[in-house]
Amino acid sequence: MKKKIIICALLLFAAISVISQEKKLPQLTGPYLGQKPPGETPELFAPGIISVDENFEHSAAVFSSDCQEVFWCTNVDANTEKRVAGNLRLYTMKMVEGQWTAPRPAPFVKNIYVERPFFSPDGSRLYIEYGSDTTRESDFDIYVVERRGDGWSDPMPVSPLINSPAMERLHCVTADGSLYFSRDPFTQNEEMFVSRFVNGAFTKPEKLGRGYNSDDYEAAILVAPDEEFMLISHTDTQHRGVKFSISYKKEDGSWTDRIETPFYCGGFFALSPDGKYLFFMNEGIWWVSTSFIDELKPKSLK
């Protein structure tokens, strides 16, 4: 009897704790968690909610096509004495009956190290970099989870044509489902590839040229949904001086020289579903208006 009383008391305490934590979160309604949209100057996104001082966010914020769900990667308590090495996890919030739920770990990845979430154009698939254990980045491959009603499937390898014995790093997925990724990153052998999505399956990856691979180290690349421009976060080979550039596709399919943008960006890009905002990582997750994309476009391409 005493054991039952103790168990009930513990469950009640846990429930009260959860309620108490949820009360600390303001009621959030509307698109993008009800945050005031940014202008041409980047602003911290959802401070205290998604961008938390005690945590280390290591991705962009990626929203589903209907803007009802958001995912991002964070290491909880990374900036405190409570930090746990290799504790990078996938978190999510969802719009339920007009209000956003509190942040919580995505249930389908359990206790696995995850990076770089990216939605398919229709929101039915979420791509991630998925570790085979808790911390070893060399074991990363690209996985996918598929929407199942109100939930998600377990993670599955995206394709044996894409994942190899080397490490694959996810960059983006375009409107037609093409998946851009790099193989053997963080080495001199890193190369960029694209795999097209045809009849429900990925094709043999095509190695990409100098427009995507330069003498710099490409930390992150985002190819636009229509593949008309490309955003690049890159440094020199010594990883000094991060640059944030844009390149535009010419009529012949080649790319313009990279044009530096007017602000700093740490990488991990994601466009909002309506294309109006860019989310990226930089000591928290930031967002900015995408007006700079048209402003920097060469007149010859307008």
- The strand order across the sheet containing 43-44 reads 43-44, 285-289, 277-281, 270-271
How far apart are alpha carbons 229 and 222 in whole angstroms?
A: 9
pLDDT of 238: 58
pLDDT of 213: 79
CA 95 to each of CA 27, 48, 69, 70, 217: distance values in angstroms, whole numbers, following the listed order: 11, 18, 6, 9, 38
* One pLDDT digit (tens) per residue for the chain, 302 residues: 433 444 443 333 333 333 333 446 778 999 999 999 999 999 999 999 999 998 889 899 999 999 999 999 998 877 776 655 557 889 999 999 999 999 999 999 877 788 899 999 899 999 999 875 544 555 678 999 999 988 999 999 999 999 998 889 899 999 999 999 998 876 667 789 999 999 999 999 999 988 887 777 788 899 999 999 999 998 765 555 678 999 999 999 999 999 999 888 878 999 999 999 999 998 899 999 999 999 999 999 98
For residues 288 and 40, is the Cβ–Cβ distance under 8 A? yes
| Domain 43-301 falls under CATH 2.120.10 | yes
Q: Does the pTM of the predicted model rise above 0.95?
A: no
How far apart are alpha carbons 153 and 147 in whole angstroms?
A: 6
For residues 155 and 141, is the Cβ–Cβ distance under 8 A? no
Please state the domain extents for the chain.
Answer: 43-301
